[in-house]
Amino acid sequence: MSTKQIDARGLSCPQPVVLVDRALADGNADLEILVDNEVARENVSRLIKRRGLKVDISQNGADIIIRTAKS
Amino acid sequence: MKNIFATRTGIIVVGAVIGIGAALLQYFGNPPNMGICVACFERDIAGALGLHRAEVVQYLRPEIMGFVLGAFAAALFAGEYKPRGGSSPLIRFFLGIFAMLGALVFLGCPWRTLLRLAGGDGNAILGLVGLVFGIFIGVLLLKNGFSLGRSYPQRKASGWIFPALMVGLFLLLVFQVSFTPGGPIFSSVKGPGSQHAPIIISIIAGLIIGALAQRSRFCTMGAFRDMILIRDFHLVSGVAALLVFAFVMNLILGQFKPGFEGQPIAHTDHLWNFLGMTLAGLAFVLAGGCPGRQLFLSGEGDMDAAIFAMGMIVGAAFAHNFAIASSPKGVAAFGPAAVIIGLIFCLVIGFTQRDKIVA
């Protein structure tokens, strides 16, 4: 399955978490999530780890890119 | 730099500091079971400015200013100061108004709900159950796609407005400014507004809690929301710590008095204690944070959160001008009507504000 992108920039929590949770529940384990603040990074990372996946975080200007990886 | 306050241990330490701090602030003079109450203290500020004329609840509470400025300093230091705004500001303003109306029908924000419980006030159980019920309704709306839309980066200087307002209020307090004879700035001579810790203790406590809460993302509403929404118990462990440590400190300081009748600044109308906090809880979810969290976000430069806080201050003025705020004697004449209107408003907003987010 190809990588599913989620643009959660500018969304306040918990909406980034809700979007990611829904995507994971739909069976998409290969995600690339764009967020623009630390709180969203922490919350989304915590959710992904609790769902048994690893996270890979990189920075692109003001955007934070969170990728999921199979553990 | 790893943020140690965002860990499980971190959030528990922050909850404990708030719980202990609140009990100590009561010991140093803040009102009983009200060491820290964001709703009550914003209401006192509204009164001090003369936006309402309830003489017993007027005081420029330094804790509120400390929360914003502490969070502001912590965010600047951590590189998290990011002015942003534009996510349905008018809706957030009204959510702030109705959140305050609900909170003042119960007589407390979520923090005071916990502190009342920690002081032995059984009526707070109804408030807490109402709060969780309101949050539960909000979670259903979130799952249904509720969103107030994206915020957008704003210019650096715009995020300074709210912290600057807090500095201004603090100066008005310190220099005891009087604008007209017999006019504002008001300061209660009796009642809860007259009960306060020394300014220096209040502002330092506020700054410390503001900074810690900004780092840890402490939020009472978020705690219950995350538990219901995604079975995440991170934030709620901080809330539990607040409750436990405030309770232990109250026992040590002789401030624990269990019962329902005659509790300080509380009434025993179970239905409206419950529904008042249902409204508040629902409004907090829709706006994305409890009153405390909204202040910390304001300090980070979140102008939407600042609008919510302004809404709460205006809501407090309405609550006392229009006989909506309860008193120890019970629910006021227009309290129930205000709660019902508020619930209708929140539900309409909850069902109509839905983003088609193309993920």
Per-domain residue ranges of chain A: 4-70
Determine the residue of chain A that is closest to B232 in CA distance: A47
3-state secondary structure of A67: strand
Per-residue pLDDT, averaged over B198-203, amounts to 98
Residues B43-50, mean pLDDT to the nearest whole number:
98
Residue with tokens 């409004």: B283
* B104-129 pLDDT per residue, tens: 999 999 999 999 999 999 999 999 99
Q: pTM score > 0.90 for this model?
A: yes
Instruction: Provide the percentage of residues in chain B whose pLDDT is more than 70.
Output: 99
Residue B356's pLDDT is what?
Answer: 63
What per-residue confidence (pLDDT) applies to A62? 85
Residues B125, B113 contacting (CB under 8 angstroms): no
User: Tell me: domain A4-70, CATH 3.30.110.40, correct?
Assistant: yes
* pLDDT of A70: 73
Cα-based distances in Å from A49 to A15, A35, B152, B271: 18, 17, 28, 41
Cβ atoms B93, B219 nearer than 8 A: no
Average pLDDT, chain B: 96
Model-level ipTM above the cut of 0.85: yes
> Across the A/B interface, how many CB contacts are shorter than 8 Å?
58
* Chain A: residue whose CA lies nearest to B82: A37
Tokens of B146: 């509720």
Per-residue model confidence as pLDDT tens digits over A9-60: 999 889 999 999 999 998 888 999 999 998 999 999 999 999 999 999 999 8
> Is B167 in a helix, a strand, or coil?
helix
pLDDT of residue B224: 97
- For residue B156, the 8-state DSSP code is G
- Any residues with CB less than 8 A from the CB of B314 and at least 6 apart, and which? B46, B51, B93, B96, B97
What per-residue confidence (pLDDT) applies to B110?
97
Q: pLDDT digits over B209-229, tens only?
A: 999 999 999 999 999 999 999
Among the partner residues A5, A6, A47, nearest to B230 by beta-carbon distance: A47
Q: What is the mean pLDDT of residues B245-269?
A: 97
Q: Which residues of B touch A7 (CB under 8 A)?
A: 357, 359
Q: Which of B82, B143, B226 sits opposite A37 (nearest CB)?
A: B82
The pLDDT value recorded for residue A71 is 60
Q: Region B155-160: what's the mean pLDDT?
A: 93
Tell me, what's the pLDDT at B1? 53
- For testing the chain A interface, which of B151, B235, B354 should be mutated: the one with the most A CBs within 10 Å? B151
Contact with chain B for residue A14, Cβ under 8 A: yes
- Closest residue of chain B to A46, computed from CA coordinates: B232
